[in-house]
């Protein structure tokens, strides 16, 4: 269920980018059982990490804090509508609910005309159109090589994972 106090926090985190070089104004929190368990802000430039978005950082923080990769039952609050990378991260972690403040149109109106020197551009529409395609149909060069060797390792690993005597159980690895 939506609660204003969590969105207040996500937006407050986004506002810290106004005074923190190398960050961008995208803040997020992960909430589980009525408590914030992870927080994040876009640190792409600061961390030299193009995947450091507010939402991915909040998911990483939550998973480290909880010692799990399983965020089923958790809610993500973001100051801005998540890009496809962050939607994928939420799906991978099993995040159950999303609430966001600014939408893509508002973000585009604010940031769309910035020069590349000010912000490395992200084309969300292009990401959306490409991610759902089979690999060979994507615009980027993409081809298969050495599939049998790689698949053999997958099968060997799965075999060990199925046998509790040969591997430590670990947390849900998805």
Q: Could you give the residue numbers annotated as active site?
A: 55
Q: How many helices (H) and strands (E) are present in the chain, helices listed first?
A: 7, 4
Q: Would you tell me the crossing angle of helices 4-15 and 54-66 to the nearest 10 degrees? A: 120
DSSP E strands in the chain: the ranges are: 24-32, 35-42, 75-80, 97-102
Count of residues touching Zn ion (by CB under 5 A):
4
Residue 89 within binding range of Zn ion, rule CB under 5 A? no
- Choose one: 75-83, 137-145, 152-160, 166-174; the region binding Zn ion (CB under 5 A): 75-83
Q: Which of 45, 46, 66, 85 binds Zn ion (CB under 5 A)?
A: 85
CB nearer Zn ion, residue 125 or residue 159: 125
CB nearer Zn ion, residue 69 or residue 85: 85
63 Cβ contact partners less than 8 Å away, ≥ 6 residues apart: 38, 69, 71, 93
Residue 28 within binding range of Zn ion, rule CB under 5 A? no
Give residues in contact with Zn ion (CB under 5 A).
53, 83, 85-86
């Amino acid at each position: 269920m939506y609660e204003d106090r969590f969105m207040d926090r996500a937006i407050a985190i986004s506002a810290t980018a106004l005074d923190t070089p190398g960050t961008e104004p995208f803040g997020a929190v992960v909430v589980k059982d009525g408590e914030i368990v992870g927080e994040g802000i876009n640190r792409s430039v600061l961390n030299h990490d193009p995947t450091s978005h507010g939402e991915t950082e909040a998911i990483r923080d939550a998973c480290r804090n909880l010692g799990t990769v399983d965020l089923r039952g958790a809610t993500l609050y973001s100051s801005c509508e998540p890009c496809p990378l962050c939607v994928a991260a939420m799906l991978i972690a099993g995040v159950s609910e999303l609430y966001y403040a600014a939408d893509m149109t508002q973000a585009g109106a604010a940031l769309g005309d910035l020069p590349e020197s000010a912000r490395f551009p992200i084309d969300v529409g292009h990401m959306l159109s490409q991610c759902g395609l089979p690999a060979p149909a994507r615009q980027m060069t993409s081809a298969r090589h050495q599939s049998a060797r790689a698949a053999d390792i997958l099968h060997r690993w799965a075999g060990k994972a199925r046998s509790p005597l040969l591997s430590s159980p670990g947390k849900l690895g998805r």
